[in-house]
Structure 1
């Protein structure tokens, strides 16, 4: 029997026929409840016993009026989380499933130079723009930070890539990933080590980068690594907590990457913007773009697997 999910709005859920719930459950249905306004509505016992998760705006959980009503077996999802502070408050209350734009927002300051604890990451970043860089240059830099070295190998051997054999050193990783991708992944891991931001940001950066690469590949556009790198670079301001227009002028990156990140120009910029639209669940803007919505959906699913 095929299983499927149904999300019910709270106003709709009040009127759902219990016999319909029973029939759908027999056909493999699982139910979620979405609350946009007000408290948890009065629901039938049949529906209450069928709900697996509940989604509500963050303010409901912060006021604690919802926490007292929900069934302990339900998974609670907080939506409309738009800041790191709000994210932290919810995590402290035990809410681990969080939706919103809290990750891609930099907590920027007036800092005009890079902190010293991110020097390894910035040296790797400089290598991104050096067309003459060698594998030995990158490897020598990475082994200066053993934690980075082991994290990189652990990630490359994770389910994200699912290689059919274990990668045991940087040279082997190069064969499978290519120098550009290896440099970019090393950069993001190095930055994630030195930031206090959520570790989810690391996976968001990789998902965005991979989606940009897949969009380019689906259109037959050359230099897919530029699209991948642009996706990663687009979150540098969040990882460093420094404004993007302060970071990019100092870095030896190609004009295509800089224009894509700052202005969404060119094919690279279009792919990057599409990936961001998808993160924001902005279907209308995706439809208005040059990318097919189904193609964007497939690219995102493959990028985030």
Structure 2
């Protein structure tokens, strides 16, 4: 299933990009917001930006303005994204009652930037204005005199003003002269829509993982086992951790390493994002199921092969290599573009690209056996110093593990 998200740049007075606003889109050719459920649209933009597209790819490390509904604020969705990456844009139809004001204070204490969207001055917004960092003024609907009045009345408070729907050079020059700091609109750039393939996953597994994460003594081995058989979940974990905001210092070579680097709190944040978005298997085609099953078998086959070769240090990387060996088919994208986005160990990247290395030859051996290409099996078995007689038993064990894993997931109570 394809997913869509649009971004529109926000510029400063020097016409350099300061940030991007991320916008919900229902299709590749949609030019405006068309969602019937604003809450679902907020969840979609937030989770897809971090878990599917990659926030760093969308914004290049600049802040992302995201619209939040009242429900989104109530559920504190923003606590599941890094403070420096998201600007909380409070929609104009949200009543600034005591609950909303308390939530905004908590967000400010956490370090979030708060912007007020489509602002129109009224006494009821005074307390909310005191919490705001940025106020957005719609230049299409707000008369010139009112735009200037808002600046004069609030300019002393340290708030930055953003002129949105700036359509002409005259609009831009008037905004600069009036004291606006940021600018957004068709004069600069129309929203650009991005498309990504959404990988299906096993939704009941999220709750199993969340249950494990919330234990006092977190069991990383158990978490690793739950993630191992699901290429979709594994991919989402790497997309999340690979965000520039987590300061990844070295490439990932195993699931355990990724989990330990994230830590208990961020793992819980990641899982909560998945659950809130309710990423359920919408693409249940036979093709997708078979690709995922084959990925599982290849991963376990590689792990078992490394252990049998007395190369335990290769087991985790062999598993990871097998699991990602069909990612280009699952995502309908080139392997090169996918690998550019994932900070996985270079040995794994080389193996996936067919390199003549230990991991590369192990993957080639697995694929040759899978395809009944006995000449290639003989060649790669010799390269790996593996007796070919081992392979049937290892393949059968990998197949049984994949079947058992899927059955365990299916038997979990709803």
TM-score range, shorter chain: 0.3 to 0.5
The answer to which structure has the higher strand fraction is 2
TM (norm. structure 2) is: 0.33
TM (norm. structure 1) is: 0.44
